Structure 1
Amino acid sequence: MMSTVLSIGLGILVVFLITVATGYFVAQEFGYMAVDRSRLRARASAGDAGAKRALGITNRTSFMLSGAQLGITVTALLVGYVAEPLIGEGIGELLGGVGVPAGVGAAIGITLALLFSTVVQMVFGELFPKNLAIARPEPVARALALSTGIYLKIFGPVIWLFDQAAILLLKLARIEPVEDVQHAATPRDLESIIAESKQSGDLPAELSTLLDRTLDFHESTAGHAMIPRPEVTTVEEGDPVSRVVELMASDHSRFPVLGDGVDDIVGVICLRDVLALGDRDLEHVKVSEVARPTVMVPASLPLPGVLDQLREANEEFACVVDEYGGLAGVITTEDLAEELVGEIADEHTPEEEVPAHLDGEGSYLVPGALHIDEVERLIEHDLPEGDYETLGGLVIHELHRLPEVGDTLELALPRPTSAHDDDPDMALTLRVSSVQRHVPHTVEVRLHESGAEEKAEEVRA
């Protein structure tokens, strides 16, 4: 009897010891997959030996995973090999001692042994080390680095053999194997990460918006960020400089200079050029005498390229030219800055050029010239894609005509990829509040659940 109890106790102890080994390999597997390599690099650069060793292991992810899988498989088999003879047979003998038939006792013993070993393996060998490694990947990776390196070195030939067999199968399936897991993120990946971090509250809304704009900056073009031609004040080369001084009272300090036509850009004149004239009679000084060459950029040029050209020319102003050679607009360093930080409003900025909250959640009075991406950030929802740059362009696109004050339309918004099945579909109601130069100047925008407007009308009726 005593020997049987000791056999069961020994079996339980051995199962726990083997389970610890299983947990080691599971922690190895998840720890090195979840660890932040940039943090390891920073620690390694600071002289942390554990981080340096862990970083070396992450550079052989596929080999490490093969080693971890080998360890998990072998230890799982050992648990079954030990549990049945030491625990199962022992329980069967104890049950036989109290009158249970030998066959029944053996069956019960094996069942209890397998149940016990399975629970221990799942909880202590799989789930606990997995959750620990995911919750604390960096400490786990650093702590296991030395022993993992030794293990991979000792059992390297065996691991390599199994690894090569798997690689051969992949190649037969015409799949190219990789040694390391790709940790680099595309701009689209970063956008998703930023959106998820903002939604979870891990990233402040202001910072997430700044990061989002920064990612968009490299894809945006001069045509996107420019002040469009209808809003640009120009002067002709034959005008007196006194005309420029009059225009400067309207808050502008730089003006494109035109020659024989509206698309003949001959230069630019700015405030410092006028000030350099000193006491000269500005009525008798022609703009052509003062104008200097201007930076010219195509409308399709990405904003980083615009910034490079302005920096090389030591200028803050450029004329944007369309594909037909005409003046499409102008762009300044302030416009480039606004692509990163949003509208920079000062005492000269009209109130109607800045989005304003209206009564009711999700309701705004928005400038028609506001870019679509800024509208999306304002309502925190994607808008339908189309051949337009601004909110006013969206209204015209949907109306199929030039708008009038009071025109109202409702847009069904695309469903976010992260939306749950029970999340309602959203819609956007747009009402033209004012019109200027035949296009929407200000638009009332209201975000609501799809169909909510009709229900509200029915209630009011």
Structure 2
Amino acid sequence: MLAGAQLAITLCSLGLGVVSEPLIASTLTPLFHAVGLPEAAAHAVAFVIALAVVTFLHMVLGEMAPKSWAIAHPERSATLLALPFRAFTLLVRPLISALNAVSNGLLRLVKVRPREEGANPRTPEQLQHLVAESRRLGLIEANDHAVLSQALRATHADITPLIIPPGQIIAVPAAATAQQVIDACLRAQRSRLLVGSPADPAGVVHIRDAYLARKRGTDVTAAQLAYRIPALPPGTSVADAVARLRAARSQIALIRADDGATAGIVSLDDLLTTLLVPA
């Protein structure tokens, strides 16, 4: 993506130079010639002014202003630009690969070994040291230091302390109506409840789906509104559990022991709290 951005900027610069500079220079040359400058001097001055104008516009409108907009609105800029920029990089990938090969070849000629991107990953211990040094030098605030340190410490922590055992799980029967699901959620002050037996749930139902079903007047049961939840082994790390829940687009995971028995559930909220809230 970085190589694609560099190539696009270079192409824009060359395009502006080829089209704009001759146009501006040809427009200004007669004016300077009319005020008494020799033709060669008039052309040179006009060319310098054209080059300055094009460079200024390219840097301000083409690079600095879009960069500032992207920093101020990162989500919107990423949403708008991700697909077209990815299409551009796919289109010019052969050219990027060729340029990269030439660049690596030149580096090898001067006895420099090219390093692939991401070939030198940081260990958690190195990251902890960087965070500590950043705090010591005053580069990050105390709250940021606490959050980062907690996230790094909790990455490999076990989810076992976060597991809610079956005896504490609130569930609704599989045959419960939409209204019964709503009532149960309100009593438990939860937006999601397991469906069926806590020891062997059929899935999880969201109060939003129950409200929508009641509004439509459809006669559905909790089992029909439920969606499947991923299952994790008890020894899963917090970081891995978060990644798997996000990949499954689920807020709850079922914890199953090696013998297949249900050991409980764990929620994404609890996992993120462990990662981001200092102890």
Normalising to structure 1: TM-score of the pair?
0.30
More helix per residue: 2
Look at both structures and tell me which one has the larger radius of gyration over its CA atoms.
1
